[in-house]
Chain A
């Protein structure tokens, strides 16, 4: 395995740079091909979220090893490293194209290597004032290349060999503007570092990667024996070394280089068998017929020339054969198996240089979502007149400002003059009434109150306890304190509730009859129509015997009676006052004869109903009594 070696740098150790350009190109002179070309580019754009880089070398797209943003939070610059392997010797152009915006500046440089194979995993980092980056697990035959982009001028390489140092913008870029590329060798951990000349918080971005040595070309692949092999060759075939047959990258396409002659060792005679031995006129001892003793000698036997197949071993022309004109055989190099090729073990051994077909790279429009989120400028946006960005600073919270910790936070550090100090007037706050009333602190006008010992009353024993025992009542339940004097409990008999009393049989305890109030009932005179219907004078009014009214006490409500024993008392009779008796009827002028005379007919009875006027007159006819009686209104 051959170690990786540095080849050349392009365009020079000073790099190439451009400002206000969307492309940057330079020439990289590859000394020995095929070579691995690694290009590092710093892109200084603010913002850079929508800016992407594409790099070609000799028209062939290079592959990105990684993009590292500088530490500036606004995303104003980044470092990106590309590589391309198998670059032929010559002076290809390395072209960087920025899409998605015009960077304020770009700078780049390229380094080519010989004997390079695969690339390791890129190590990236970004930190303020960072000047070194380390790759671990580096093989002795490898080489490490590191690149740094910084916002200030980068110092000289302190570890490794500087390849490119392009302090294009110094301290006047957005976040980068300066580029440095260096290489280093070693085993294990290999560091690429630069002298730290940063004085402040310089945004930096670094990337380093191990360039592994190319894997040696695989040895001849033995052909597998088969029918053809057995029939025609009788020995293993060997393929020419792939690397030897491939034209150098600089050669014209399609050139076939003949491999050196393949020499096959002559086979041992024993391998030829008896026929071969006989054909060669060689009879070893013990092989063939036994020798004939002298004097008899076998006749000399002339052997024909060996077969041509045996002469193809290259040992001169067979005897008796006229040498023919030799035509070189075209042996095509066999391409390495894809599996080996994809393993990244160096360039494809049998790969022939392909005609260059430039790749058309279309600019991809940004996704609307990305555009709406403000990440990058729109693709079709035209540069707008420069307006200094307005950086709105939020007003600090009042709580912070009232804290009195120096100047107001609204003053942005670094921009603008400090604000005059304005002491804060802090007003004492009167406690809320509720707080005061909660007892937090003495009230303003409260005066101490005289001490009043709390009166503690002993609790008498429960009646249930008192009644079930004889003697002194049980002591108070409280274990502490002096025994309390005995105070017998006065138990008053309770008068049963009226409802309870009524539920039992017996008399009502204290039914107080209402005072007697005799009612004067006046006989009502007959109605004039009735008198006129009968003959004779109207009898004189006879004073009626006084019949005191009987007032019954009101029976208890049925509901109450039903709750007790027995049935409720029968309802009292209707209140009848002054019913006409038979005698009254006899004394009345209304007789059966009278009735027969038709003085008082049914219709007359109907007519003779007491009217309101009759009631007013107080008359009452015999005919009216049975019809209706006295109503409450009459009374």
Chain B
């Protein structure tokens, strides 16, 4: 069902970290995975060599198999946001990926964060819409 799966603030070591799963209603159609870059020791305070892949998966079979919905890669360092007047300016606060899920019934979703380089503090949300 539509809702948010919270990724609690934690320092994640190098490797893959799975958050979830969470059930999605048949009427749900999309997921949005957001990682907060501004937390202490988060990605904004990391060197560029610290990266993390983050992805939202869905499972049509109760978690037996997982299929990528959308994924991305976060790099360490401060990023400039779109400046005014089109953007808010300042620095980027979050990295996000989003896409629509494949339709189905009894779907589940999860978030996977794979850290490379060095441990990093991660906090975020997986929103099902």
Contacts and interface: CB of A to CB of B under 8 A. Distances in A.
B79 interface: yes
Contacts of A18: 70-72, 95-98
B31 to A, nearest CB: 10
User: What is the interface residue range for chain B against chain A?
Assistant: 35 or more
A11 B97 contact: no
Interface stretch (B1-9, B14-22, B84-92, B120-128): B84-92
B97 A385 contact: no
A23 interface: yes
A93 to B, nearest CB: 6
A382 B48 contact: yes
Interface in B42-70: 47-48, 51, 53, 55, 67-70
Contacts of A20: 37, 74, 79, 92, 94-96
Interface string A1-25: 0000000000111111111111111
B97 A21 contact: yes
Interface stretch (A171-179, A447-455, A530-538): A171-179
Interface string A519-547: 00000000000000000000000000000
B91 A386 contact: yes
B99 interface: yes
A12 B100 contact: yes
Interface residues of A, number: 41
Contacts of A208: none
Contact of A11 (B69, B75, B88): B69
B86 A385 contact: no
A384 interface: yes
Nearest to B48: A382
By CB atoms of chain B within 10 A, which of A44, A95, A386 has the most? A386
Contacts of B83: 46, 388-389
Contacts of B97: 16-19, 21, 24
Contacts of B98: 16-18
B74 A21 contact: yes
B102 A11 contact: yes
A386 B78 contact: yes
Given A11-B100, A14-B99, A21-B97, A174 B86 contact: yes
Interface in A412-457: 414
16 contacts: A17-B97, A22-B74, A24-B72, A26-B69, A27-B102, A46-B83, A93-B68, A102-B79, A104-B92, A171-B86, A384-B80, A386-B79, A386-B89, A386-B91, A388-B83, A388-B89
Going nearest first, the 5 A-B pairs with the smallest beta carbon separation are: A21-B72, A12-B100, A383-B77, A16-B99, A18-B72
Given A16-B70, A25-B70, A104-B87, 4 more contacts: A14-B100, A16-B69, A20-B79, A414-B85
Interface of B: 29-30, 37, 47-48, 51, 53, 55, 67-75, 77-92, 94-102
